[in-house]
């Protein structure tokens, strides 16, 4: 008889928990909210006219403790301009098999080209698809933006861009 009561006592926690409100998130049907400053996937930003903010300086790559970023810069030319100033990021890759979401890269970026979004659904089943290039990282073109390469806004200098004095192009320029 005492053994029977021992068994019942063993279920006390189980029964007590069965009738509590469930806290389990209904993922993936209802993805849970994240904190406003959650470090999700990265984004490479653009200026209001569509030029890229990345200048290919590699500071983000040097700041990364996980060696997850690869950048290869190249020179802009007057015929082919991707960003204001001399250089742009010709190749830009983030390896999400390595990234630990620490955010040191975005702190290091001098032009705010690199920021992090709240998006966290990046799971995949092979290595190649977890190395994201510019095709996935670049911010989408918005109204007033033209896909690079194209010249800087008429009469502007690179400093105008860095200081935020550039307006979107007139109309929907895409």
Which residues within the stretch 105-124 sit at the binding site for ligand SF4 (CB under 6 A)?
A: 105, 108-109, 111, 113-114
**Among the residue ranges 7-15, 64-72, 125-133, 157-165, the one whose residues contact ligand SF4 (CB under 6 A):** 64-72
Give the one residue of 55, 137, 152, 153 binding ligand SF4; rule: CB under 6 A. 55
* Under 8 Å between Cβ of 49 and 146: yes
Compute the least distance from the CB of residue 113 to ligand SF4, in Å: 4
Among 40, 48, 103, 151, binds ligand SF4 (CB under 6 A): 103
Residue 138 annotated as lining a ligand binding site: no
Q: What is the DSSP string of the chain?
A: -HHHHHHHHHTHHHHHHHTSPP----TTTSPPP--TT---SEEE-B-TTS-B------HHHHH-TT--EEEEEEE--SSS-SSSSSEEEEEEEEETTT-----HHHHH-TTS-EEE-S------SSSGGGEE-HHHHBPPP-TT--PSS-PPPTT--HHHHHTT--PPPSS---
Closest CB to ligand SF4 among residues 59, 145 = 59
Residue of 41, 43, 47, 94 interacting with ligand SF4 (CB under 6 A): 94
Minimum distance, C-beta of residue 155 to ligand SF4, in the bound complex (Å): 24
- By C-beta, is 59 or 152 nearer to ligand SF4? 59
Q: Which of 147, 137, 136, 135 is nearest to 172 (CA)?
A: 147
Which is nearest to 102 in space by CA: 116, 114, 91, 89? 116
State yes or no: residue 54 binds ligand SF4 (CB under 6 A). Answer: yes
Does 91 sit near ligand SF4 (CB under 6 A)?
A: no
Q: Enumerate the known binding-site residues for [4Fe-4S] cluster.
A: 54, 57, 60, 64, 99, 102, 105, 109
Binding residues for ligand SF4, rule: CB under 6 A, are 54-60, 63-64, 66, 68-69, 71, 89, 94, 99-105, 108-109, 111, 113-114
């Amino acid at each position: 008889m005492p053994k029977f009561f021992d068994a019942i006592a063993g279920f006390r926690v189980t029964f007590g928990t069965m009738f509590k409100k469930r806290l389990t998130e209904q993922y993936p049907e209802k993805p849970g909210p994240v904190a406003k400053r959650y470090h999700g996937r990265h984004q490479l930003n653009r200026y209001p006219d569509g030029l890229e903010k990345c200048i290919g300086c590699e500071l983000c790559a040097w700041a990364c403790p996980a060696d997850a970023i690869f950048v290869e810069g190249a020179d802009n030319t007057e015929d082919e301009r991707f960003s204001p100033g001399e250089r742009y990021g010709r190749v830009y890759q983030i390896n999400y098999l390595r990234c630990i979401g620490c955010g040191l890269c975005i702190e290091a970026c001098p032009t705010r080209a690199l920021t992090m979004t709240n998006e966290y659904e990046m799971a995949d089943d092979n290595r190649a698809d977890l190395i994201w290039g510019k095709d996935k990282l670049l911010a989408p073109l918005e109204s007033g933006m033209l896909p690079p390469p194209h010249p800087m806004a008429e009469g502007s200098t690179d400093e105008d861009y860095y200081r935020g004095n550039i307006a979107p192009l007139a109309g929907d320029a895409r």
